Amino acid sequence: MTKAYDALRLKPAITKDKRHVSLQLNAGLLVDLPQMDLSGADGIGLFRTEFQFMVSDFMPKLKEQTALYRQAIETAGHRPVTFRTLDLGSDKILPYMDPVPEENPAMGWRSIRIALDRPGLMRYQLRALVTAGAGKHLRVMFPMVTTVAEMIAAKELFNREVTRARNLGLELPEKIEIGVMLETPSLAWQVLSVCDHVDFVSVGANDLMQFFFAADRDNPRVADRYDPLHPAALSILKFIAQGCKSSGTPVSVCGEIAGRPLEACCLVALGFDTLSMPVTGIGPVKSALLALDVEKLRAAIEPHINIHSRMTSLRDIVRNFCEAE
């Protein structure tokens, strides 16, 4: 948090037309936790649990996993922490596990696919999460889900751990919320169906955009080839926001775009009211939102978010609008 945004730290992110937006942090390690207070974040919207595994020389033991999750929950206090289960494979490689050679690792055996095929590791992690959440509010979400059946299977694994803890007479979390990361286009087209099985949806815009535009996010030649403010990208985001809203399911965005002021303003105009971002985004996004009339921005961009649009990006419209405010 730079000095320029210090004064905003304790100010809630409320737009000029009184829309309250929750600005949360993307985190994953113990060192990230103090950033919550330093930035004035409203919680942790994405806790990348694989980071602990990636910085270790060995697989973290159950006790170590539990301790990190508990510390995150306790540091957050009344603020929510959303744990994302292990998102391994593709760009997230463990030094102590042999990588499986694949032609297209981003679309390969990764994340929830590994977890469901080899459930031992995920059950172990879910056990750590249930233990860490004893007497507290526990939020867990599953990454890279492409079908509703995967979400149901993941939830079953979670429920088995809750049942196990109950049978052992262990203290359970006071409240449990289970969510899905919506980061594949296929799940966007099942949004209503998946909402039947979850308490919340979090849009992983990094992967969603990668798969939507078929542009490898780790390949510098193509990663920046698309603009997330392209009407096509905004159309799928709008579709997701409306789907979740119509089923009464809370929805947030946790990809990098949530931390960029113009994109964040657009996301709020599309109906997202929780954004989770790197700590460097909190101040600039809050500053932009405080100056924003969401309803006016919505009216300016809405006519261009449809299949008839001939525009290549709404960036100029949003920039001109935000500068004029």
Which residues contact Mg ion (rule: CB under 5 A)? 183, 204, 207
Q: Which of residues 199-228 bind ligand PEP (CB under 6 A)?
A: 204-207
Residue 208: CB minimum distance to Mg ion, A? 8
110 binds ligand PEP (CB under 6 A): no
| Complex with ligand PEP: residue 39 or 85, whichever CB lies closer | 85
- Contact status, residue 112 vs residue 150, Cβ threshold 8 Å: yes
Residue 268 binding partner per list Mg ion, ligand PEP, none, with a CB distance cut-off of 5 to 8 Å that depends on partner kind: none
| Percent of the chain that is helix, strand, coil (3-state, to 5) | 50, 15, 40
- Contact status, residue 72 vs residue 36, Cβ threshold 8 Å: no
Total of chain residues touching ligand PEP, rule CB under 6 A: 10
| Best CA proximity match to 302, nearest among 259, 224, 242 | 242
CB atoms within 10 A of CB 312: 11
Retrieve residue 224's tokens: 């920046």
3-state secondary structure of 24: strand
Residue 8: CB minimum distance to ligand PEP, A? 24
| Best CA proximity match to 27, nearest among 201, 301, 254 | 254
Residue 96: CB minimum distance to ligand PEP, A? 20
| Complex with Mg ion: residue 48 or 286, whichever CB lies closer | 48
| Complex with ligand PEP: residue 179 or 204, whichever CB lies closer | 204
Report how far residue 304's alpha carbon sits from residue 14's, in angstroms, rounded to the nearest whole number: 26
- Select from 32, 42, 87, 216 the one that contacts ligand PEP (CB under 6 A): 87
76 binds ligand PEP (CB under 6 A): no
Q: Which of residues 182-201 bind ligand PEP (CB under 6 A)?
A: 183
46 binds ligand PEP (CB under 6 A): yes
- Contact status, residue 265 vs residue 322, Cβ threshold 8 Å: yes
CB atoms within 10 A of CB 20: 12
Residue 206: CB minimum distance to Mg ion, A? 5
- Contact status, residue 19 vs residue 294, Cβ threshold 8 Å: yes
Residue 50: CB minimum distance to ligand PEP, A? 8
| Best CA proximity match to 40, nearest among 285, 263, 264, 270 | 285
Binding mask 250-289 vs ligand PEP (x if CB under 6 A, - otherwise)?
----xx----------------------------------
| Best CA proximity match to 184, nearest among 131, 255, 115 | 255
Residues that bind ligand PEP (CB under 6 A): 46, 48, 87, 183, 204-207, 254-255
